[in-house]
Amino acid sequence: MPAKVVVPSSSRHTRRIAVDKIHSVICNRVKDGDEQYLVRWNTESKTAAPPLSWHLINELRHCLEVVQDYLEERETSKKSVAQTRIESRKRKSPDSGYEIEHRSSPFHRLQQGSQTPSASRSSSVSSTTPATAVLSPDVYNGVLDIDQHGFVVCRPVSPDALISLSDVLTADLKQRAYQARVKDAEILMRNAYVQKLNKVPGPAVTLVNTVDNSTPSLRFRYINKYVLTAGVYQLEPATATGCQNCSPRMGRDIGCEYTKLCECLEYAAVDEARLDDEKRRKYEQALSKNSSMMGFPKKFPYFTNTTGAKAGCLVPFYLNSRNAIYECNESCACGPQCRNKNVQFGRKVEVEIFKTTSGRGWGLRCKQALHQGQFIDTYRGEIITDEEAERREESSSKAKGSYLYSLDKFAETEELDHEPYVVDGEFMGGPSKFINHSCDPNCRQYTVSYNKHDPYVYEIALFACRDIAAYEELTFDYLDKEGDESEDPGEGAIPCLCGALNCRKWLWT
């Protein structure tokens, strides 16, 4: 048996562990009133059993995302064990006392990953050694030390000095881990997430959970604009030439005022109701030749500041259509007050992330009532290539598709050189990541472009499609298709829990 190695305790209150140093948390317990977590350290060696050590939750405050991963898996394992018990009772299985050994759990996964000769042994008791001697949960087998910054570090260890994971993780320890208190960890995780939210620019983003003690993933990074990944290119800002014929002094000093003049609206939908016969003929010609729409009447997308409560809200022409919105940009001559700028200034409403009671995970709501057509936020994330999106989809769970949003608005109308890009909001994005699907939604997604020349990179902006009461959950239709017919669910379809009368029953078909 290897020597017992104890972490120096002189600086117990200040020592901490760096996230990149540890592989995972594999078990937990409460000892002397303290929450402790068994840490598996990263090791270069593929063959040696990994170093292990128990740590107070406070020492893991820089690794809370790893603790969170563990607690989520612990929940899943507990549920699967409970489920097995019910099933076992039904079947009256003679093996029901050993179900923990055979479940897919963090413990099980780790044994597979450790790749030691002993990993394939039973995870409960060694056949030759008394359980109390070898399987003491207090044994440390990492050679731990504290560096000059107060971080716990693990020195290289010889393989002979290591104890197999399968010996440490007794069935009893696992069972106790399922029951052990994790309250301190939950409080730390919650505080860490709130700190993250406090740094999000703009109106406050709050977090409420009256359902359970969970916290959204600490791995998520809040970003203010897209993050472009390998192989993704956005047109240079210089190509966004903007409108040069409009000016802040035009008419009522509201920037762009004449839609026929505004070059930013060149490709915006033509307001056909304002075409006389002659103009209609020219318009149809232009349409057939796919030529410029400059000079034809369009509509500005937003109500002006003179319209009271509706100021800045989408006008019905856009609200009730799928027409792309082209906003003016920084190069335009129209100035910052231009009525044709809105989404680019970002979210103006406070939002709250809350845990839903209907099994749809987290949701988002506004603390204030919203008007029909009011801008809420954009959907942000990493922009990835189509190939990368497929790779990510294949390598993750079936729910992954829910965070991928294809920028394919112009794929049918323009000759694109390559497949449209995809926004992945799973790991980085904004609070709008939490907006759930409804078949009877109160929000809708719109295409907003600041550069009419770029059909690949544009904003997905979420607007209220009807008046929304304060604290009513925000939802949008993930498919946003014409018609609401239900299709047969494909493989991996997720049942829709939106509860709407017109529910299509499946999230993805």
Which of 4/398 has CB closer to ligand SAM? Answer: 398
Which residue in the block uniquely carries the two structure tokens 């190939």? 387
* Cβ at position 472, least distance to ligand SAM in Å: 15
Please confirm, yes or no, whether 193 is among the known catalytic residues.
no
Residue nearest to ligand SAM according to CB distances in the complex: 361
* Contact residues for ligand SAM, defined by CB under 6 A: 360-362, 399, 402-403, 433-434, 436-438, 494, 496-498, 507
Nearest to 240 by CA among 491, 452, 44: 452
The DSSP letter of residue 73 is: H
Cα(434)–Cα(207) distance, integer angstroms: 11
Cα(349)–Cα(285) distance, integer angstroms: 43
* Cβ at position 422, least distance to ligand SAM in Å: 14
Which of 80/402 has CB closer to ligand SAM? Answer: 402
Which of 16/504 has CB closer to ligand SAM? Answer: 504
Residue 127 contacts by C-beta under 8 Å, 6 or more apart in sequence? none
The shares of helix, strand and coil residues in the chain, as percent rounded to the nearest 5, are: 30, 20, 55
* Cβ at position 494, least distance to ligand SAM in Å: 6
Which residue in the block uniquely carries the two structure tokens 């909001």? 425
Which residue in the block uniquely carries the two structure tokens 């064990």? 81
* Cβ at position 225, least distance to ligand SAM in Å: 19
The DSSP letter of residue 225 is: S
Which of 111/432 has CB closer to ligand SAM? Answer: 432
Which of 316/495 has CB closer to ligand SAM? Answer: 495
Please confirm, yes or no, whether 37 is among the known catalytic residues.
no
* Cβ at position 36, least distance to ligand SAM in Å: 29
CB 5, CB 140: distance < 8 Å: yes
Which residue in the block uniquely carries the two structure tokens 């800045």? 312
CB 311, CB 341: distance < 8 Å: no
Catalytic entry in 70, 193, 267, 379: 379
CA distances from 337 to 56, 167, 309, 455 (A): 54, 69, 17, 26
Can you read off the two tokens belonging to residue 54? 């128990």
∠ CA 264-267-271, nearest 5°, is 100
Reduced to 3 states (helix: H, G, I; strand: E, B; else coil), residue 292 is: coil
Cα(315)–Cα(81) distance, integer angstroms: 54
Catalytic residues: 379, 478
